[in-house]
Amino acid sequence: HSVGIGRAHAKAILLGEHAVVYGAPALALPIPQLTATASAGWSSRGRDAQGELSFTMTGSASRTVVTQASEGLRRLTAAFKARMGITGGPHLDVILDGAVPPGRGLGSSAANSRAIILALADLFGRELSESAAFELVQTAENVTHGRASGVDAMTVGASAPLLFRQGRARPLGIGCEALFIIADSGTAGSTKEAVERLRHSFEREAGARERFLGRATELVGRSRLALADGEAEEVGSQLTHYHELLRAAGLSTARIDAMVAAALAAGSLGAKITGGGLGGCVLALTRPEQARQVTAQLHEAGAVQTWVVPLRRQSGHA
């Protein structure tokens, strides 16, 4: 091919963010309607000061056009070439339409990385196994996030909600139909900063880490069973408890707290911040009958955009 194309979608973490960095399980949801698209081609410009790669980012999620390859992207391309045994070669031109808003806990960095390596694989006419794609995305994630659990890298390539634990994913059993409303607070948060902040607080206070991980694991376990049994209310209350856990750890914001309260007051079964935190999005579990009201109240409380991701019945693996 003269142009390689790759796509990957956003994700939301239902439960288990931050604890998953320490090996605890997490539940995650693909967001198919938010997709990053990358195209890769041979540059006519030849080598320039940027080295072997020129990069342009455009699209709805980046109001300004970014033209510099980040450190993560340079490492990603180098890791791809090393893995494929490609040495040297012509200058690459990568264009990314990043439709996933950054810093919103929606896995934009993982979705962008996955779209780019799939585009490169397509351009070079190479097969990329799922495990190779995962590892390559993780290479970039570890640069961007400091220390990434892998839940984002896994979920941006998944087609159904999953249970993630220590680098492995399995489909989540789901026994009810409901909607997740994802509402953007309009403020970006830094996952790297949030992960570091939590680590420092664990270092300062004896037993804090064990308490946090114990509670997180308990809430994830309960909601996993409740989801499989179709007990949507029970899932909702675990989501709200998890919000409390993250808020107490200093990872929420005033606007996010107001949005969570508004969703609950409007009849949502449960609501929480999702992803790295310090900004980003709220995730609210809602019966279809309440969806309109919950969405309206989320906007009233400051949401700048919302997405609806339906939850479908599926059988999981024990």
- No. of helices (H) and no. of strands (E), the chain: 9, 10
Which x/- pattern, by CB under 6 A, does the window 69-108 give for ligand PMV?
------------------------------------xxx-
Q: Which residue, 191 or 223, has its beta carbon nearer to ligand PMV?
A: 191
Region near ligand PMV per CB under 6 A, out of 70-78, 148-156, 205-213, 231-239 = 148-156
Which x/- pattern, by CB under 6 A, does the window 15-34 give for ligand PMV?
--xx-xx-------------
| Closest approach of ligand PMV to the CB of residue 18, in Å | 5
Among 123, 148, 174, 235, which residue sits at the site for ligand PMV (rule: CB under 6 A)? 148
Region near ligand PMV per CB under 6 A, out of 14-22, 172-180, 210-218, 221-229 = 14-22
Q: How many residues bind ligand PMV (CB under 6 A)?
A: 17
Distance CA 174, CA 71 (A): 39
Q: Which residue, 17 or 184, has its beta carbon nearer to ligand PMV?
A: 17
| Closest approach of ligand PMV to the CB of residue 188, in Å | 10
Residue 139 in the binding site for ligand PMV (CB under 6 A): no
Amino acid residing at 11 = K
Distance CA 196, CA 50 (A): 30
Which x/- pattern, by CB under 6 A, does the window 263-282 give for ligand PMV?
------------xx------
| Closest approach of ligand PMV to the CB of residue 81, in Å | 25
Q: Which H or E run contains 229?
A: none
DSSP 174: B
Contacts 24+ apart (CB under 8 A), 220-224: 220/15, 220/16, 220/19, 220/24, 220/25, 220/26, 220/27, 221/25, 223/14, 223/15, 223/27, 224/25, 224/27, 224/163, 224/172, 224/173
The number of angstroms, rounded, from the C-alpha of 278 to the middle of its chain's C-alpha atoms is 15
Q: What does residue 130 show for φ and ψ, rounded to 5 degrees?
A: -60, -40
Which x/- pattern, by CB under 6 A, does the window 169-198 give for ligand PMV?
----------------------x---x---
Cβ pair 154, 28 in contact under 8 A = yes
Instruction: Tell the burial category of 175 from Cβ atoms under 10 Å away from its Cβ (0-12, 13-18, 19+).
Output: middle
Residues that bind ligand PMV (CB under 6 A): 13, 17-18, 20-21, 105-107, 145, 148-149, 151-152, 191, 195, 275-276
